[in-house]
Amino acid sequence: MSAPRLIEARGIFKHFGGVTALNDVSISVGQGEIVGVVGDNAAGKSTLMKILSGAYQPDAGTLLVDGAPVAFSAPGDARALGIEMIYQDFALVPQLDVCANIFLGREILRKFLGLRFLHGPEMDRAARRMFETLGLRVPSMKSQVRDLSGGQQQAVAIARATAFDARLVIMDEPTANLGVTAIGKVREAIRRLQSQGIAVVIISHRLEDVLTTGDRVVVMKRGRVVGERPIADTFHDEVLEMIVSGTDRKAVRAEARA
């Protein structure tokens, strides 16, 4: 039995001038489901995810969250419904420390003599709890982000995305430019998110990220969805063939036999 749909896109189109980036794309993500979205460059993966996270608005089509139509005019609208996106460059502030990055724009305040001040100790404690829950580590909550390794910066980005009642986390190339150990930590964190009921969408050129952690894979080519398969019912070469050919030959053969 499939998980109830958390978010669904139906018939999405997106144009940039004369270029059609998305052409009648439909996709859904169930509650607590891990979905990999794969394809070559210019397949439309990142454009689609930016629409799901409110950074872009579709030219046509419908978005639904929990079965109800929604319209995102900005990322804040998506965040209000628990949808967060982690970009490939992490979108962190290098000169700020770990704790400040996590709570940037959403700081915990306390009142003193009628004035509001940052509640540093409470933010520090909350940040530590986030890292413990996710099984991630950084040297210190006071470490400046610019001094962290790529894997540690990814850990900060994941903690920030899940800090405020996230229901869906979209990750753009989460293991790009990371070493083997850091890749393993990120994959483990993705599984922990799922164990907490948080859905994850992974955009990745590294098929192993999707095949080792995902429940389902969606293949895109030139702005269209060309194939979709449960991970348990597919394998590496089959997905690679769909990426290269732009055709789900297995589905075509099954339709021909029907």
> Given pLDDT bands bounded at 50, 70 and 90, which one contains residue 73?
very high
| Count: domains in the chain | 1
pLDDT in tens, 134-186: 888 899 999 999 999 998 999 999 998 988 889 999 999 998 888 888 889 89
Residue 177 within any structural domain of the chain: yes
The reported pLDDT for the residue numbered 120 is 76
Residue 36 within any structural domain of the chain: yes
Question: What CATH number is attached to the domain comprising 203?
Answer: 3.40.50.300
Q: 126-139: string of b/e by CB count within 10 Å (b at 16+)?
A: bbbebbeebebebe
pLDDT in tens, 84-116: 999 888 889 999 999 999 998 887 777 776 677
Residue 192 within any structural domain of the chain: yes
Nearest to 214 by CA among 18, 30, 90: 30
Residue 118 within any structural domain of the chain: no
Residue 111 within any structural domain of the chain: no
The reported pLDDT for the residue numbered 242 is 93
The reported pLDDT for the residue numbered 98 is 93
Nearest to 36 by CA among 200, 167, 151: 200
Q: pTM for this structure?
A: 0.88
